[in-house]
Chain A
Amino acid sequence: MSDKYMPHTNEEIQEMLEKIGVESINDLYKDVPEEVIFTEEYDIPSSMSEIELRRHFEELGKKNKTLTVFSGGGVYDHYSPSVVSHLLQRSEFYTAYTPYQPEISQGTLQYIFEYQSMISELTGLEATNASMYDGATSAAEVIFMMVASSKKRNRVLISSTIHQRVVDVIKTYAKFHGIELTIIPEKNGVTDLEAIDEELQKDDVAGVLVPTPNKYGIIEDYSGLADKIHSKKGYFGIYADPSTLAVLRTPAEWNADVACGDGQSLGMPLNFGGPYLGFISCSKTMIRKMPGRVVGATKDADGKRAYVLTLQAREQHIRREKATSNICSNQSLMALYATVYLSLLGKKGLEEVNTMCCDGAHYLYNLLLASGKFKAVFDKPFLKEFLVETSLDMEKVNQRLLDNGIQGGLKVGENKVLFAVTEKRTKEEIETLVNLMLEEEK
C-alpha cells in the first residue's frame, strides 16, 4: 500500500492492526453497511510519475494561449515584483492552518495585521477584515452588513454601473437570503444620483452601494451623496478597485461607511479568475457586523507585543446560525500576496503604477480617437480603462488581434469596446494594437 505520499510499510500496518486488535484494514469498515461499500475501481487515470505529470500539464498548457492583454473588466494585468512569488513559496506560510493557535502562528497573524493596516490606508476606513473570497462575494456580504446594521430595513440600492459579474453575485445572495434589491439605472455612463434620491425618500433603504471606478472605467462624482444617504439613516458603501485608491478619492474621503472590492489589482496574477481576494473595510460603527476573521494587536503573558484573532463572537464557529456570515476559510495567502506587494511598491510605487496606467490609457484613447474609426461614448474622467464606440467589425478585429497574440478590448454590446492599459503595456504594444485594428480587411 506504500506510495510516496503514504509511508506505511506492510510490517507497520501489521503492528498497528495488532495494537488496534483487528485482523485487517477491512475490519475497520465492518460497521459500514455492505450495500454502500464501493467495490469497483474509480474511473480515473492510472498513477502518473512526476515526469508524466509534468508532461501532461505542459500539453494542457499548450492548448492555452498567453496574450498581450488589453482587457480589464475588473481584472487587470498588473506587474508583480519577483520577490512576491518567492516569499509566497515559503512553506511556513502556505502549509499553515488558520491561526487558531496564536502562539505558533504569529507569522500569519502579523501579516494579516499588516494587510488590514495597508487596506485601511488605501480605503481610509478604520477596520479591515482578514479577507473575503473575491470582490463579488465581498460586495454581497456588504449588502448583508448594511441590512444587519440597519436592523429593521431590508432594502439595498446598488448601482448598475458596478461590474455586471459583481451585480450578478449580489443578486444571487440577496434572492436566497431574502433581501430586496433595487438596481439604480445609469445615466450617461454614471449612476443616476437622482434615482437614488427618489428611492431614499421612501425611508426604507438600509444602504447604497456604488463603484469607483465604474464598469466603464469612469471615475464617478459622489459629491453630496453621503449626506443624502446618512440623513435618511442608510449606510453608504463603495465598491472600489484598491490599486486605484492610491490616487483616487477614497471611500473615507467620500464619507462612506464601508468599502469592498477585489484585491486582484494589487499585482495578483490573472490566474484565469482566481485565487484573488475580496476586501471589506468599514468605519467603527459597523465593525461588529463585519463578516470573517479579524486580527487585533495585544500582549502576551510576558508583556510582549503579539497578534491574535479577535471579535470572534461574530463568527460561525461560535455563533452558528446567529453568525454575521458563514465564511470560515478566506483567501489568507492572497492577503500575504497583497501585503508583500504593497510593502514593495509602498507610498510612491503604487502612485507611479497608477500614473503609468493612466498615461498609457490616455495615449491609447487619443490614438483611437485620432484614427477616426473610434469615438468617445461618455465624456467622463477615467484612469486605466475606458469605453469607445467603433465603426469597425469588432468580431473580425478581435480575431485579427488574437492571431497576433493580442487580447484586445472587451466587446460591450454591438459596437462598443472597453480597453484597459496597465504599466506592463509599452508604447510600442499600444501602437501595434492600434495599427492591427485599423488594418484594412484582407
Chain B
Amino acid sequence: MKTYDKLIFELSKPGRKGYSLPENEYKTDGLSSIPKDLLRKEVADLPEVSELDVVRHFTNLSSKNFGVDTGFYPLGSCTMKYNPKINEELSALPSFTNLHPLQSEKTVQGALELYWNLQEMLSNIAGLAEFTLNPYAGAHGELTGLMVMRQYHISRGDEKRKKVIVPNSAHGTNPASAMVAGLEVVEVKSKPNGSIDVEDLKPLLDDSVAGIMMTNPNTLGMFETEIMEIANLVHNAGGLLYYDGANLNPLLGKVRPGDMGFDIMHINLHKTFSTPHGGGGPGSGPVGVAKHLVDFLPNPRVVKNEDGSFSIKSEDQSLGNISSFLGNFGVMMKAYAYILSLGKENIKNVGPLATLNANYIKESLKDDYLLPIEGVCKHEFVFDGLKDKSTGVTTLNVAKRLLDYGFHAPTIYFPLLFHESMMIEPTETESKETLDEFIDVMHTVAKEARENPEVVKSAPLTTIVRKLDETSAAKNPILSYRSLKANAK
C-alpha cells in the first residue's frame, strides 16, 4: 500500500455516509427555538465517506507508521519499551470507561481504589510520601511540581525565591516549565563528564533560590555521584530538589529518588511504566512529593477514609487545579496493570537489565562511534557521532540511514553538550538478538560512511517518503486541507 496518498477529504462524495443513528422520536424541533443569529451559517466541510472508506483509509495510514510493535527504538530519554497488550484490554473495560467524572462518588469506588493503589505504589517505588496522578504528561508534571515548589515557599512567606537552577544538559521542558510556572531559570554548568559542577553551583545558592531541577542519571546516562552533597547544599540554602523522572527506568530496583534527597518528582508513566506513547500522547505525569509538601499537591485529591472507602477532596492549602478531573485515568489503568504484572519480584530487575542493555551496545559500538565519556553508563549513553570525522557523514545522516535498515533513529543533537550527539537507550524489553542486529547495522553504516559516504548522506532511500522540504513547510505553513486546496490553485 506504499502508493496510497489520499486525504480523507479527497474520498468524499456528497450523500455518502459512515454512521447510523436511531430514528428521531421527539417532535420538539429544538433547533427552531434557537435564534437564527446564534446558528452556524456556512456548513462545516467535513468529509462524506462510507464506513469501509474510513476503515481502509486509516488502515492504510497505519501502514505508513513505525511503532514499538514494528521494530526497535533506540531513542534516548524516551524509554520506548514494549507496551503490553493485556493493559490495553483492561483499560478498555466498560466498567471503567463508562464512568462519568462527575457521577456520584459512591458509584466510582473501584476507580478511586485503583487511583489510590497506583498512587501508593508509585510513592513506595519513589521513596516519597504521596503522588497526585492528575498531570497529563511529563512536562505537565514538571509544571505541577514547580508549582508545588513555589506554593511551598509562598506558604512560608518566602516569596522572593523565584530562581530555579537547571543544568545546561537538561531536557528542554525543564527551563520551559520553569518559565510557565513564573520562575527564573539559572543555568548551572556541567563538567566534561556531564555531571553538575558543584563548584559552579555553590555561588548560585543564595536566598532567592527556589530549588534545582535535576535528573539522575543525567542526560548523558551518567549517575550524579555527588548527589548527596548537592542535596545538602541546596537544602541548606533553603531550596528544594526536583527530580525529572524521564530517567527513572535504570533506578528501578536500585535507587529511590526520595532516598537521594529529592523533595518533588514526576514520573512519565508512558516511559518507565510501559504505557504507549500513542504517537505523542496521551501520556501521564504523576507528581510525588515528600511529606512536608503533601498539602500543596493539586486539587482534586483522592483520599482513603477510615472505613476503607474513597473520596474526592479539595484542600485549601493546595496550589489549585491543574486538570479538569483526575488526569488521564485510562493511562493510569495501564501502568497499574503493568506494575501488578511484574510484581515486586520482577520490577526490581527492570533497572539492572535496562542498564545492562545500554552498556552492551556502548561497548560493542565504541570502535566505530566516538564515546566522549568513558565508564559505566546507566540506561542510556551518548556518542558524539562517528569516530571517523573525515567522511563528512553527520549524526543526522546516520540516523536517516538507520531508517533504511528498519530501525528507528536514536535521539539526535541532544544533549547540547556535543556537536554530533546521538543518544541511545535500548530498555530492558529488548533481547540480545535485537541488540546484536542493531549493533551490526550500526557497524554497517559506519563502514558505508567510510567506503561510500554519498549513500549515507542521501539517506533515507527506501522509506515511503524521502527527505522532506521542512524549510518551505515553515516558511509557507499549510496547516489544513482547505489551505492545501487554496494553495494548489
Query: Size of chain B's interface in residues, with CB distance under 8 A?
Result: 200
Q: How far is the CB of B414 from chain A (nearest CB, A)?
A: 8
0/1 interface trace, chain A 88-120, chain B, CB 8 Å (1 if under): 011111111111011111111011011011101
A342→B42 CA distance, assembly (Å): 17
Q: How far is the CA of A223 from the CA of B73 in the complex (A)?
A: 53
Contact flags (1/0) for A162-176 with B, using CB distance below 8 Å? 000110110111011
Q: Which residue of A lies closest to B36 (CB)?
A: A249
Chain B positions within 8 Å of A336 at CB level = 58, 279
Asked if residues B227 and A36 are in contact (CB atoms below 8 Å), the reply is yes
In the assembly, what is the distance between CA of A20 and CA of B321, in Å? Answer: 48
One of A67-75, A149-157, A229-237 contacting the partner: A67-75
A420–chain B nearest beta-carbon distance, Å: 10
- Report how far A30 CA is from B44 CA in the complex, Å: 62
Cβ B62 vs Cβ A90 within 8 A: yes
Contact of B347 among A42, A69, A108, A177 (CB under 8 A): A42
Using known A-B contacts A81-B18, A328-B138, determine if residue A344 contacts B280 with beta carbons closer than 8 Å: no
Q: How far is the CB of A212 from chain B (nearest CB, A)?
A: 9
Name the segment of B93-101, B201-209, B383-391, B443-451 touching the other chain.
Answer: B93-101
For residue B57, CB closer than 8 A to chain A, the reply is yes
Our pick among B127, B322, B465 for the contact of A306 (Cβ within 8 Å) is B465
Structural contact, A81 and B359, CB atoms closer than 8 A: no
Interchain CB contact under 8 A, A165 and B321: yes
Q: Who on chain A is nearest to B278 by CB?
A: A333
Contact with B along A274-287 (1 / 0, CB 8 A): 11110000000001
| CB within 8 Å of A: which B43-94 residues | 43-49, 51, 54-55, 57-59, 61-70, 73, 75, 78, 80-84, 86, 88, 90, 92-94
Q: Establish whether residues A300 and B468, one from each chain, have CB atoms under 8 Å apart when the complex forms.
A: yes
Q: Given the known A-B contacts A48-B340, A53-B90, A97-B277, are A381 and B33 also in contact in the complex, defined by CB atoms under 8 Å?
A: yes
The residues of A that contact B63 with a CB separation of less than 8 Å are 92, 107
Known: A20-B360, A43-B124, A92-B67. A426 touches B465 (CB 8 A): no
Contact B254 A37 (CB under 8 A): yes
For chain A residues 36-50, which have a beta carbon within 8 Å of chain B? 36-38, 41-48, 50
Our pick among A13, A17, A306 for the contact of B468 (Cβ within 8 Å) is A306
Is A355 touching B61 in the complex (CB atoms < 8 A)? no
Say yes or no for A438: interface residue by CB 8 A criterion. no
Q: Which residues of A contact B86 (CB under 8 A)?
A: 50, 53-54
Q: Are the C-beta atoms of A275 and B346 separated by less than 8 Å?
A: no
CB distance B172 to A318 under 8 Å? yes
Centre residue among A12, A44, A86, A249 by max chain B CB count within 10 A: A44
Query: Taking the nearest CB of chain B, how far is it from the CB of A418, in angstroms?
Result: 10
Q: Is B349 an interface residue (CB 8 A)?
A: yes
Contacts of B409 in A (CB 8 A): 101
Is B45 in contact with A121, judged by CB distance below 8 angstroms? yes
B136, A249: Cβ atoms closer than 8 Å = no
Whether A110 contacts B323 in the complex (CB less than 8 A), given A253-B41, A271-B329, comes out as no
Taking a contact as CB atoms under 8 Å apart, the answer to whether B350 and A6 are in contact is yes
* CB of B292 closer than 8 Å to a CB of A: no
B21 and A356 contacting across the interface, CB-CB below 8 Å? yes
Q: Which of A333, A347, A407 contacts B100 (CB 8 A)?
A: A407
Give complex CA distance A79, B64 in Å: 29
A 119-141 binary contact with B (CB < 8 Å = 1; else 0) = 01110101110110111110000
**A392: interface (CB < 8 Å):** no
Q: Are A96 and B279 in contact (CB under 8 A)?
A: yes
A201 CB to closest chain B CB (Å) equals 26
CA distance A110 to B47 in the complex (A): 15
Assembled-state Cα–Cα distance A347/B323 (Å): 32
Q: How far is the CA of A234 from the CA of B27 in the complex (A)?
A: 44
Q: Judging by beta carbons under 8 Å apart, are A57 and B181 in contact?
A: no
Q: Which residues of chain B come closer than 8 Å to A359, judged between CB atoms?
A: 24, 26-31
Q: Let me know if B256 is at the binding interface, CB within 8 A.
A: yes
Q: Are B124 and A42 in contact (CB under 8 A)?
A: yes
Which residues of chain A have C-beta atoms less than 8 A from B430's C-beta? Answer: 7
Cβ contact within 8 Å between A321 and B343: no
Q: Known contacts A117-B9, A320-B176; is A383 also within 8 Å of B95 by CB?
A: no
Q: How far is the CA of A369 from the CA of B296 in the complex (A)?
A: 45
Cβ of B237: which chain A residues have Cβ within 8 Å of it? none
Query: B155 to chain A: closest CB distance in Å?
Result: 13
Q: Is A326 in contact with B173, judged by CB distance below 8 angstroms?
A: yes
The yes or no answer to A370 lying at the interface (CB within 8 A) is no
Q: How far is the CB of B304 from chain A (nearest CB, A)?
A: 14
Interchain nearest-CB distance for A359 vs B (Å):
4
Q: Is the CB of A126 within 8 A of B479?
A: yes
Chain A residue nearest to B87 (CB atoms) is A53
Q: Is B129 an interface residue (CB 8 A)?
A: no
- The interface residues of chain B lying within 8 Å CB-to-CB of A5 are 81-82, 84, 274, 341-342, 346, 428-429
Pairwise interchain contact A172-B147, C-beta atoms closer than 8 A: yes
Residues of chain B contacted by A319 (CB below 8 angstroms):
172, 176
Q: Which of B65, B352, B355, B409 has the most CB of A within 10 A?
A: B65
Give the segment of A181-189, A192-200, A203-211, A290-298 that binds chain B.
A290-298
Is the CB of B108 closer than 8 A to any CB of chain A?
yes
* A178 at the B interface (CB under 8 A): yes
A360–B298 alpha-carbon span in the complex (Å):
37
Determine whether A345 belongs to the interface, using a CB cutoff of 8 Å to chain B. Answer: yes
A257 to chain B, nearest CB (A): 16
- A203 vs B178: C-alpha distance in the bound complex, in angstroms? 30
Please, how many angstroms separate the alpha-carbon atoms of A71 and B325 in the complex?
Answer: 15
Are the C-beta atoms of B342 and A31 separated by less than 8 Å?
A: no
Q: How far is the CB of A89 from chain B (nearest CB, A)?
A: 7
Instruction: Give the docked Cα–Cα distance between A347 and B8 (Å).
Output: 13
- CB of A310 within 8 A of CB of B281, answer no
Instruction: Determine if B113 and A92 form an interchain contact, defined as CB atoms under 8 angstroms apart.
Output: no
Q: Is A245 an interface residue (CB 8 A)?
A: yes
Shortest distance between the CB of A388 and any CB in chain B (Å): 15
A308 to B477, CA, bound (A): 11
**A66-B99, A248-B38, A333-B281 are known contacts. Are A344 and B474 too (CB-CB below 8 A)?**
no
Chain B 143-187 interface mask (CB, 8 Å, partner A; 1/0): 100010010000000000000000000001101111111100100
Whose C-beta in chain A lies nearest to the C-beta of B274? Answer: A5
Q: How far is the CA of A77 from the CA of B194 in the complex (A)?
A: 51
Cα of A419 to Cα of B56 in the assembled complex, Å: 39
B305 within 8 A of A: no
Given contacts A64-B108, A95-B67, A110-B64, 8 further A-B contacts (CB under 8 A): A36-B259, A60-B114, A102-B465, A223-B37, A272-B96, A287-B477, A347-B43, A407-B100
| A and B contact pairs by CB, cutoff 8 A, 21 listed | A5-B342, A7-B429, A41-B348, A57-B337, A95-B68, A97-B67, A101-B409, A103-B403, A103-B460, A104-B64, A120-B482, A137-B322, A137-B323, A173-B322, A246-B40, A249-B41, A343-B47, A344-B54, A346-B47, A350-B44, A355-B31
